[in-house]
Amino acid sequence: MKASELREKYIQYFVNHGHARIKSASLIPDNDPTVLFTTAGMHPLVPYLMGEKHPLGKRLTNVQKCIRTGDIDEVGDNTHCTFFEMLGNWSLGDYFKEESIKMSYEFLVDELKIDKEKIAISVFEGDEDAPRDEVSAKCWKDLGIAADKIFYLPKKHNWWGPAGLTGPCGPDTEIFIITREEDCCDGCSPACNCGKYVEIWNNVFMEYNKTADGKYEPLKQKNVDTGMGLERMLFTLGGYKSVYEVDVFTPVMKLLDKVVNIDKDTTKEKRIIADHIRTATFMLGDEKGITPSNVDQGYILRRLIRRALRFARQIEISPDTLPEISALYIEIYKDAYPEIGENKEKIIDELKKEIDRFDKTLNRGLAEFEKLKQYIQNNRISGKAAFRLYDTFGFPIEITIELAAESGITVDKEGFDACFKEHQQKSQAGSEQRFKGGLADAGEQTAKLHTATHLLLAALKKVLNDNSIYQRGSNITAERLRFDFNFGRPLTEEEIKEVEEQVNSVIKQNLKVTCSEMSVEKAREEGAEGAFGDRYGEVVKVYSIGNFSKEICGGPHATNTKDLGTFKITKEQSSSAGVRRIRAVLE
Ligand code: SER
């Protein structure tokens, strides 16, 4: 079966059962600081799962684009991908276990014609937070699933959520396809990783809200949240050996087969390239499109593109193949996800730019890495050396760790982080943590104020009509910014008001904050603000905010001015002779 067929069949079935079809939400979550990407169809629906009324009613269905990079190291095997589509249906305080299970069964057996003998089920075995789920087990038995195909498993397997640290969650019942007769061991069950049971669908019965202090409170409204991985389902239905045989990958795998011309098994590398470029295409083409950067989502995107390029080089594929692959995906997905077609130029353009950036230094970095290997002690690369690979050659630390592992070497990650901190950049460790579900920290507020500082400098130059104004000092806490600049007299009240208005009008334009790396010379040529001094030959980061501001800077910054709120100057005073000091806040 083709992806388009399964999408339509699924949606049609649930529409016929009273569900309203909703659009896939953006990959960038709207109101959730605890995760970087949308990881499941329920994610954008959290407010409605918590009780807010959905305009389209109590029964919803959709196909949601999702990203999960937690298993990025597994990509290359038969089943793992960093991007996937999730088919889902929801009951917002409408039907519950019985009806949900019945619809799932019917869809699988009557619509997809799956042999019911091939279906196995798991249900929650119960613990101190919630009782054993006998209701679900009975529903399955009543539909004719044999008792020995129903497994009771603990929270680790049969509990879903919350998506971040807090929020709706509950016991689930998972549906598996039995792929063979033999057990792998005594007590073989869907909890084993032996491959006998392939999970295809997860029905979550959201009855609880996990609070920040780790308690499970009953939700006022009982919901159903189900999710079926589209690619996984097609792979299972088709009886394929790997998910890369699914039709959405076929043209890409064909192209890769054609261009690879080396005498070894390149299956893993080709799959990594196919996966990473697909994910990058969706990130770049998203309605809230992101671009490669050194923080948060942009950093994950950068890592994926750079990793794909490294593997392309490793199997002697031209870097030009990567945008070609992206173009194939755009064709494949543009009907189901119109934004991908609409953003075609941007996707290809940004991809090419990032590839160019890294390709220039990749080979030199690899040579440096080879050199390093000869000099290291205790089979360990120092944090400083890893930082140099990052800073000078653009190697994300994960790539260095991966390269090292391929040679049986470790990397002093803590040492790297320390160097990173020293350079006053927000460590990607921060974003990784957030990605894992940590809460947003004060760093985010600081980043916003930092972005506001850039806007302030640009506005001062304009309002005071003085291009020789530059930064004499800056100090930012989570609460406020303090900015010193050269100017010979106090600002008038009107000027202060005008500066505020300029900054706020830029904030309202929802301008993207982008970061690119370039030589100091190039930065100067482009008119970037910043101390050029004696940094001749160095590669620096330049942050741009639309056409309004361009500064050499280490970051971190907000990704878009729209996140800044309202800018307000709280004080303007003298700092020293010829230097003024402004304090400001974001409200
Ligand atoms: N939220 C559940 C999952 O991700 C079901 O959609 O599996």
What does each of the 587 residues of the chain score in pLDDT, given as a tens digit?
999 999 999 999 999 999 999 999 999 987 566 678 999 999 889 888 888 899 999 999 999 999 998 888 889 999 899 999 999 999 999 999 999 999 999 999 999 999 999 999 999 999 988 999 999 999 999 999 999 999 999 999 999 988 767 788 999 999 999 999 999 999 899 998 888 999 999 999 999 998 888 889 998 899 999 999 999 999 999 999 999 999 999 999 999 999 998 989 999 999 999 999 999 999 999 998 899 998 888 999 999 999 999 999 999 999 999 999 999 999 999 999 999 999 999 999 999 999 999 998 998 999 999 998 888 888 899 999 999 999 889 999 999 999 999 889 999 999 998 888 887 544 444 433 333 322 234 578 888 999 999 999 999 999 999 888 888 777 888 788 999 898 989 999 999 999 999 999 999 999 999 988 887 778 877 888 875 444 445 667 889 998 899 998 877 889 999 999 999 999 999 988 788 999 999 99
d(CA 67, CA 279): 8
- What 3-state DSSP class applies to 373? helix
Cα of 302 to ligand 1 centre, how many Å?
27
Beta carbons of 196 and 65 less than 8 angstroms apart: no
Q: Which atom of ligand 1 is nearest to the CA of 204?
A: 5
| Cα dihedral 294→546→24→3 (10° resolution) | -70
Q: Is 419 in the pocket of ligand 1 (CB under 6 A)?
A: no
If one counts every other C-beta atom within 10 angstroms of the C-beta of residue 486, the result is 14
Cβ-in-10-Å burial (0-12, 13-18, 19+) of 194 comes to middle
Beta carbons of 76 and 82 less than 8 angstroms apart: no
Cα of 43 to ligand 1 centre, how many Å?
9
Q: Which atom of ligand 1 is nearest to the CA of 86?
A: 6
Q: Is 32 in the pocket of ligand 1 (CB under 6 A)?
A: no
Q: Which of 94, 65, 407, 427 is nearest to 248 (CA)?
A: 65
pTM beyond 0.85: the answer is: no
Q: Which of 236, 220, 223, 231 is nearest to 100 (CA)?
A: 223
Cα of 330 to ligand 1 centre, how many Å?
26
Cα of 169 to ligand 1 centre, how many Å?
10
- Sorted by where each starts, the structural domains of the chain and their CATH numbers stand as 3-244 (3.30.930.10), 249-431 (no CATH), 444-586 (3.30.980.10)
Mutate to test the pocket of ligand 1, among 199, 201, 225 (most ligand atoms within 8 A of CB): 225
Phi, psi (degrees; rounded to nearest 5) at 571: -160, 145
Sheet holding 567-576, edge to edge: 471-476, 481-486, 579-586, 567-576
Cα of 204 to ligand 1 centre, how many Å?
7
Cα of 274 to ligand 1 centre, how many Å?
24
d(CA 31, CA 28): 9
If one counts every other C-beta atom within 10 angstroms of the C-beta of residue 195, the result is 11
Q: Which of 281, 153, 292, 126 is nearest to 216 (CA)?
A: 126
Amino acid at the residue 200: I
d(CA 451, CA 514): 11
Cα of 229 to ligand 1 centre, how many Å?
9
Q: Is 40 in the pocket of ligand 1 (CB under 6 A)?
A: yes
Mutate to test the pocket of ligand 1, among 66, 67, 86 (most ligand atoms within 8 A of CB): 86
- What 3-state DSSP class applies to 177? strand
162 cis-preceded (ω within 30 degrees of 0): yes
Q: Is 83 in the pocket of ligand 1 (CB under 6 A)?
A: no
Cα of 412 to ligand 1 centre, how many Å?
36
Mutate to test the pocket of ligand 1, among 39, 46, 68, 226 (most ligand atoms within 8 A of CB): 226
Cα of 42 to ligand 1 centre, how many Å?
7
Q: Is 227 in the pocket of ligand 1 (CB under 6 A)?
A: yes
Paired sense of beta strands 471-476 and 567-576, if any: unpaired
Cα of 129 to ligand 1 centre, how many Å?
20
Phi, psi (degrees; rounded to nearest 5) at 446: -60, -40
> Residues 6 or more apart from 284 whose CB is under 8 A from it?
290, 291, 301, 343, 346, 347, 350, 351
d(CA 399, CA 401): 5
Q: Which atom of ligand 1 is nearest to the CA of 88?
A: 6
DSSP 402: H
The protein residue whose alpha carbon is closest to atom 2 in ligand 1 is 227
